[in-house]
Amino acid sequence: MNSRTFERFMILLRRELWESNRLFIASPVVLAGLILVAMLWALLQIPEPMKRQAIQQMETYLQGVSPFQVMPVFMAPAIPFVIVLYVCAVIYLVNALYHDRRDSSILFWQSMPVSNLATVLSKVVTVCFLAPLFAALACGVLILFSVTAISVLAASYDSVIAGFWSLLGAGLYSILLVYLTSVLGALWLFPTIGWILLFSAYVKSLPYLWTFGAFILLLFMEDLVFGTQFLANWVESRTSNYNYIVFSVGDFFQRLLSYDMLIGVAFGAVLLVGAVNMRRFAD
C-alpha cells in the first residue's frame, strides 16, 4: 500500500466517523454521562455509615492483593458500553452499504478514485477497531472517575485501598483490556459482520428483515432438508464469550491466534468478498 492509497483510506475512515459519529462517539459519551450522573446521585444519597462500610469492605477485599490481580472488577463497568457498542455496530453495518444505494450517493462515491474493496474495508476497520476505541475511552472516563472517587472517599475515612497510583494504573490497564476485548469480540463475530455487509450491499428494501430473516430461514431449511444443524452449531460456537474476553495482554494474542478465531475471520472474509463484488450493482 503506497502513501497515496493509505491517505485515501484514512480519508474514508474519517468519512465513516463523520457520518456515524452519533452511533460510535455520541452513544458511549451519552451513556458515560448518564452513568456518571447516576453514580454522583448515588454518592450523595447513600448514608455515611454505609459508605464507610463499603470502603472498609473494599479495603479488606484488596488486602495484600494487587489491583492488577482483580482486573474483572475494574472491567465490569464496560458491560453496558459493550452492549451499546454491539447494538450500534449492528445498526451501522445494516445501513453501511444500503443507504448510499438508497439515496444514490453510491454513484458519486464510485466516481471517486476509491475502490469498492477500500470502501468495504473502511466499514470493517471502523466497526472492528475504531468504534471499540471510543467505547473504551468513554468507559475509561468512568473507570478513572470511580478510582478517584474511591481513593478520595477512602482518604476521608482514613483507609488505604491499595494506594492511589496502583489503583490508577489498574484502571488505565483495564481501559486497554476493554479495548482489546472489544476488538477481539468484533473479530470473533467476523462472520456476522460479513453476513450483514453482504445483505446490506444486496437488499433494495427492508434490510433488517432480509439480513436476519434469511439467516433464520437457512437454519430451519438445513434442519428440515438435510436433518443436520451445522449452521446452528456454528452460531452456537460463536456465542462463547470465553473466546474474546481477556484479562491480560498475553491472553489477547493467545485468543487472536487461536484456530477458532482465524477460521471465523477467514469465513467472514468469504462473505466480504461477496459484499465487495455486490457493489458493482449500484442500482
Partner 1 sequence: MNKILSVLLKDRHRLLLATIAAYIVLVVIEGVVMDRESRVYTFENPYFELQLNNIEEFQSNH
Helix (H, G, I), strand (E, B) or coil at 57: helix
Nearer to partner 1, 50 or 209 (CB): 209
Nearer to partner 1, 91 or 235 (CB): 235
Q: How far apart are CA 279 and CA 120, in angstroms?
A: 9
Write down the least CB distance from residue 98 to partner 1, Å.
13
Q: How far apart are CA 237 and CA 126, in angstroms?
A: 25
CB neighbours (10 Å) of residue 228?
Answer: 10
Q: How far apart are CA 182 and CA 128, in angstroms?
A: 8
Nearer to partner 1, 165 or 242 (CB): 242
**Residue carrying the nine cell digits 455496530:** 89
Q: How far apart are CA 140 and CA 137, in angstroms?
A: 5
Nearer to partner 1, 169 or 274 (CB): 274
Q: Which three cell numbers stand for residue 137?
A: 475511552
Write down the least CB distance from residue 112 to partner 1, Å.
22
Q: Which three cell numbers stand for residue 55?
A: 470502603
CB neighbours (10 Å) of residue 33?
Answer: 13
Q: How far is CA 107 from CA 112, 117, 228, in A?
A: 9, 15, 43
282 CB-near residues (< 8 Å, 6+ apart):
101, 106, 107, 110
Nearer to partner 1, 173 or 199 (CB): 199
Write down the least CB distance from residue 207 to partner 1, Å.
13
Nearer to partner 1, 68 or 267 (CB): 267
Nearer to partner 1, 38 or 270 (CB): 270
Write down the least CB distance from residue 236 to partner 1, Å.
6
Nearer to partner 1, 70 or 231 (CB): 231
Largest Cα separation within the chain, whole Å, is 70
Write down the least CB distance from residue 45 to partner 1, Å.
46
Phi-psi region at 2: left, alpha or beta (left = phi > 0; alpha = psi -120 to 50): beta
Rg, the chain, Cα only? 22
Write down the least CB distance from residue 275 to partner 1, Å.
8
Write down the least CB distance from residue 243 to partner 1, Å.
15
Residues forming contacts to partner 1 in the complex (CB under 8 A) are 191, 195, 198, 202, 214, 218, 222, 228-234, 236-237, 263, 267, 270-271, 273-274, 277-278, 280-281
Q: How far apart are CA 115 and CA 49, in angstroms?
A: 64
Write down the least CB distance from residue 106 to partner 1, Å.
13
